[in-house]
Chain A
Amino acid sequence: MIETESLKEVLLNETSLSEKLIDILMEKLPEVMLDCAKELDAVAIPGFGTFFSEKQDERVVTDKTNGENVMLPPQIKYGFKSSVVLRKKFVG
């Protein structure tokens, strides 16, 4: 698995951005995405995909192991949908 530090090194080698700026941007990237997700906005990255957040209301589910009905609280799910370009790249 490539960690964040390794990704920073790759970015430093392949882009013209400074190390300090990369550090700041890498730190701020999840925060900005979180702000967009809290607003239930989708972030579209061309050639990669779309990050989206979806609110699920409270619901009743049945536990198949013991048959109990459990009411789950509402939640916001965060997901990612690949773009067509990325899918074509993987399919070949």
Chain B
Amino acid sequence: MNKKVPLKKFAELLASEAECKPAEAQTFVKDVFQIIAEKVYNGESVEIHGLGVFSASPNLTEPVKFEPAVEFADELNLPFAMFQPIVIGDGISVEEINAIQSNVPQTEEVEAVEITEPTANETDLSETVAVTDCEVSEVSDVKSTDDTDDGKCECDPDSNNESKSMVDDGNSEQKDEEPDIKDIDEMPQDIEIKSDGSCEPDIENETKDDPDVEETASWTDREGETEESSSETCTYLPEDDEEYVEYYDAPRSRFGMGFIIGLLSGLIIGALAFAAYAIYFANNGQKLF
């Protein structure tokens, strides 16, 4: 890779391909390019099939011009054959593309900072992630009521599932689900409009005073209001609670029961074996130990 192949080495490679002596291959290469140099010097062009065309150039710094053959260039660029030139949209400049490419790692860092150190608005975001199943379903209901400006219901069952999976996976999924979280984050602002402004003070108090204590109350307040408002316009889609119960509780109880049963059965078998051992030696009149 990126090394210079001298004539001797090149002749050896050529000889191994042509199954001849390296000396013959070296002579051949020397003579071929000597003849080409003479012909080009006389103003003629020389074509080697599969390699390219040598021609004279008026440029004295580069007197011999070499044009590789099409098949040679195609074969050389075969690894990139699947790529095609792409016309970039009019609204995007080269500087913007370079800026986007250079800012890709920085945006990832910013995302990480947003998650670890939430601001006032993002405190709501983390709270929405930590809410229970019912509350998440309420969030989707609120969103649906916000969309019902025309009086039509646009409840989306998929939005329930997305929110549910987000809560289920916890913080590890938080980064991946960020677009959805942002949608939820916009929710309290919409509540200010739709729920007669009653939720606005609660949200501000949560973020400023003590979010741990007051967030539950505020969310439960919101639940009632949003349920009332949403029940008029759209139907409530119940969620399955089975997933949450099975994953966390069932394996522990099974393990404990199995451990106790195994321990008891081991003790019983041991006691029976010892009893059989003792009876055997008692019947034979020997000492037990």
Whether the Cβ atoms of A11 and B63 lie closer than 8 Å is no
List, in ascending order, chain A residues with CB within 8 A of B112's CB: none
- Interchain CA distance A33-B29 in the complex, whole Å: 11
How many of chain B's residues touch chain A, expressed as a range? 35 or more
Whether the Cβ atoms of A75 and B88 lie closer than 8 Å is no
Whether the Cβ atoms of A36 and B10 lie closer than 8 Å is yes
Q: Which chain A residue has the least Cβ–Cβ distance from B39?
A: A2
Whole-angstrom distance between the Cβ of B154 and the nearest chain A Cβ: 39
- Interchain CA distance A74-B82 in the complex, whole Å: 11
Whole-angstrom distance between the Cβ of B113 and the nearest chain A Cβ: 31
A interface footprint on B185-217 (CB within 8 Å = 1, 0 otherwise): 000000000000000000000000000000000
List, in ascending order, chain A residues with CB within 8 A of B275's CB: none
B45 near A: Cβ within 8 Å? yes
A32-69 residues at the B interface, CB under 8 angstroms: 32-51, 53, 58, 60, 62, 68-69
Whole-angstrom distance between the Cβ of B207 and the nearest chain A Cβ: 44
B245 near A: Cβ within 8 Å? no
Question: Mostly helix, strand, loop or mixed at chain B's interface?
Answer: mixed
Question: Chain A residues in contact with chain B, CB under 8 A?
Answer: 1-4, 7, 10-11, 14-17, 21-22, 24-51, 53, 58, 60, 62, 68-76, 78-82, 86-87, 89-91
**Contacts A29-B48, A46-B7, A78-B73; is A86 near B20 (CB within 8 Å)?**
no
A interface footprint on B1-22 (CB within 8 Å = 1, 0 otherwise): 1111111001001100111100
Whether the Cβ atoms of B28 and A32 lie closer than 8 Å is no
Q: Which chain B residue has the least Cβ–Cβ distance from A10?
A: B35
Whether the Cβ atoms of A60 and B94 lie closer than 8 Å is yes
- Interchain CA distance A75-B46 in the complex, whole Å: 26
Whole-angstrom distance between the Cβ of B107 and the nearest chain A Cβ: 21
Whether the Cβ atoms of A82 and B14 lie closer than 8 Å is no
